[in-house]
Amino acid sequence: MINLLKRIFKRRGVDKTVYFCVVILTIYGIVMIGSASVGQSAKMGAMYASMNMIKQTIFVLVGFGIMIFLTRCFKKSWVEANSTWVYYGIGLVLMLVCLFFEDGKGSHAWIRLGPFSLQPAEFMKIIMILFLSFHFGEIEEYCQIPRNITRHKREELQKRKAWYCVFRPIIAIFVVFFVGVFLQKDMGSSLILAFICMMLFFITPRPYYSKYKKASLVLLAVGIIFVCLTATFILKPYQLGRIYTWLNPLGDIEGDGWQLTNALIAFASGGLFGKGFGASTQKYGYIPESHNDFIVAIIYEELGLAGFLLFLIPYIIIIYKMFHYGLRIKDTKSKLILYGVGLYFFTHLLVNVGGVSGFIPMTGVPLLLISSGGSSTLAAMMGLGIAQSLIARYNRDLLKEQME
C-alpha cells in the first residue's frame, strides 16, 4: 500500500498539491459526517453515524481508484464527435430511469439500489463538461468553409456550421435542463449544470462564437427580467417559499425557515474555534440534513472559523489550479475541460455555503468531498482525474521543451 501511494504521488507531471487537497477534504469529510450523524442516532439507530462513515469511506476509496485510473489512462481522443454523444445519451437515459424509482422529497433524482443510491445528474455535469469541450472547443476546426465556392454554397455551409457548432449543443443543454427541472424536479442540480454549460459557452476563446455570445447576453438579460416579473406564476409554492425564507429567514421559524434559522444559530455559536469537536447542539434534530447539505453549519458550530478555513482553503487551491492550468494550456478542448472542472467545484462551493449561510436562496446541493453522498464524491473525483491527466501531459510537454 505504501509503495502504491508513493507511485501515485510521484506520478510525473501531476499536480501533487491537488492530490494533497483531495486527501485533506475527503478525510475531513468522513470525520465530520460521523460527527454530524450522531445527532440522528437516537432516531436512526446507534450504528447510524458509523454506517455513514463506512459508506462514505467506501465511496472515497472507489473514487480514488477512478481518479488514479483516469489520471493514468484518460486521453483527449476519448472526447470526440461520436463518443461525446454516447456519453450524453447514457447520462440522459440514466436521468430518465430515475423517474421509475420512488421520489425523495418530491424529486425523482435517484436510482436506488438497496442501501445505496445513484444520482445521475452529478455525473451528467462531468459528461456535459466533456461534451461541450468538444462542441465549443474543437468541432469548429472540422467545419471550416473553403474560400473559392459560390455564395449559395457558402451560405449553406455557414448554416450547417452554426447548427453543428452552436444550435445542436445548445439544444442538448436545454433537453438536459428540461429533464432535470420538469421531469426529475431537481432544480438545484439543474441550475448548477445550466450555469456550468453557460459559462463554458462564454469562456470558449474561439472567435467564431463572439457574435453568438453577444446575442446570448441579450437573451439572458431578457430571460432574467422575465423570470423576476413572473416568478410568482412560474415557480411552485415550495420554490417561492425558499426565496421568501432567504429574504426573511425569521419570518417563518417553525415552517420554511426552520433549517436556515437553525443553521444561522450554528454559525453564530461557532466563533473563532467553535464549541469543540462533537459538541454541536444543532445537529440534535434542529438541522435534519446535518450530514448532507447543511454539514457546513455543523463544521462551523463545532470548529468555528478555523474549521471552516480548513476545508475552504483546499477548495480554493483546487479551483485556482484548474483555472491556472486552463489559462496556460493552448489546446481549447483541454482548456475547457479544466475550466469546467474548476467551475464545477466553484459552483458547488458557492451554492452550498451561500445557501446554508443565507447569502443566496437554498437549493439543496452537496459540498463536494465533504457532504455525505456517493454520486457527488465519485463525480468530483472523476473530474479531478481527467483534469490531472491533462495537467500531467502539459507539464511533461513543458519539461521536454525546456530540455531541448
Nearest alpha carbon to residue 300 among 265, 267, 260, 349: 267
What is the domain extent for residue 119? 13-403
Nearest alpha carbon to residue 326 among 401, 386, 377: 386
The sign of the torsion formed by the CA atoms of 196, 123, 117, 282 equals: negative
Pairing of strands 116-118, 111-113: antiparallel
Q: What is the pLDDT, as a whole number, of residue 85?
A: 96
3-class secondary structure, 137: coil
> What's the DSSP call for residue 111?
E
Q: What is the pLDDT, as a whole number, of residue 46?
A: 82
Question: What string of DSSP letters covers 87-110?
Answer: HHHHHHHHHHHGGGS--BTTB---
Residues in CB range of 92: below 8 A, 6 or more apart: 124, 175, 176, 179
Are 163 and 79 a contacting pair, CB within 8 Å?
no
Q: How far apart are CA 91 and CA 87, in angstroms?
A: 6
Q: Which residue has the cell 437553525?
A: 262
Name the percent of the chain in helix, strand, coil, to the closest 5: 75, 0, 25
Question: What string of DSSP letters covers 243-308?
Answer: HHHHH-TTTTTTTTTHHHHHHHHHHHHHTTT-S-TT--STTTTTSTTTTTTTHHHHHHHHHHHHHH
- The answer to whether residue 380 is domain-embedded is yes
Q: What is the pLDDT, as a whole number, of residue 313?
A: 96
> What's the DSSP call for residue 141?
G
One-letter amino acid of 317? I
- The answer to whether residue 2 is domain-embedded is no
Hey, which residues does 111 pair with through a beta bridge? 118
- The answer to whether residue 45 is domain-embedded is yes
- At 308, list the grid cell: 471552516
Q: What is the pLDDT, as a whole number, of residue 300?
A: 95
Q: How far apart are CA 348 and CA 73, in angstroms?
A: 27
End-to-end CA distance of the chain: 37
Nearest alpha carbon to residue 260 among 279, 288, 239, 284: 288
Q: What is the pLDDT, as a whole number, of residue 187?
A: 85
- At 1, list the grid cell: 500500500
Number of domains in the chain: 1
Q: What is the pLDDT, as a whole number, of residue 7?
A: 59
Neighbours of 152 (CB within 10 A): 8
- The answer to whether residue 188 is domain-embedded is yes
Q: What is the pLDDT along the chain (404 residues), one digit of tens a residue?
A: 566 555 555 557 899 999 999 999 999 999 999 999 998 887 888 888 999 999 999 999 999 999 999 999 999 999 998 999 999 999 999 999 999 888 877 788 899 887 778 899 999 999 999 999 999 988 887 777 777 788 888 888 888 889 999 999 999 999 999 999 889 988 889 999 999 999 999 999 998 999 999 999 999 899 888 877 776 666 666 666 677 777 777 777 777 777 888 888 999 999 899 999 988 999 988 887 788 889 999 999 999 999 999 999 999 999 999 999 999 999 999 999 999 999 999 999 999 999 888 888 877 789 999 999 889 999 999 999 999 999 999 998 887 777 76
The number of C-alpha atoms within 13 Å of 242 and in the hemisphere containing its C-beta is 15
- The answer to whether residue 5 is domain-embedded is no
pTM of the model as a whole? 0.92
Burial category of 212 from C-beta neighbours within 10 Å (exposed 0-12, middle 13-18, buried 19 and up): middle
- The answer to whether residue 6 is domain-embedded is no
Residues in CB range of 128: below 8 A, 6 or more apart: 88, 91, 173, 176, 193, 196, 197, 340
Question: What string of DSSP letters covers 326-372?
Answer: HHH---HHHHHHHHHHHHHHHHHHHHHHHHHTTSS-------TTTSS
